[in-house]
Amino acid sequence: MDEKLLKSEEENVKVRHWSEVNRRKYGDSLGAGHEIETSEYAHVSVKQNNVQELREIWDHFDYKTKQLFCESYGDITYLLFVKVDEQFLKA
């Protein structure tokens, strides 16, 4: 798992480098004197989602918000409460 994560991070670095090189070479839609600031406040993590954190977010929603979410996305939220183990994943 750690090796897979490391490889993913390396790929992210390669993509970022490629993007910067092409932006400098071909330019972008920003006006003169402006800089891209996303790297200062946007962080992309390749870590796996924390299911407990997602459950806590879900629990903070009121009934109406939960209903609207389920109408839009179906019953996907029930997956937050499915107990997953090795045997379950192999099945």
| Among the listed residues 49, 64, 50, 58, the one whose alpha carbon sits nearest the alpha carbon of residue 77 | 58
Domain boundaries, the chain: 1-45, 49-91
Torsion angle of the four alpha carbons 12, 13, 16, 18, in this order, in degrees rounded to the nearest 10: -110
pLDDT at 61 over 80: yes
By percentage, how much of the chain surpasses pLDDT 90? Answer: 10
33-55 tens-digit pLDDT = 666 666 656 666 655 667 788 88
Its pTM stands at: 0.38
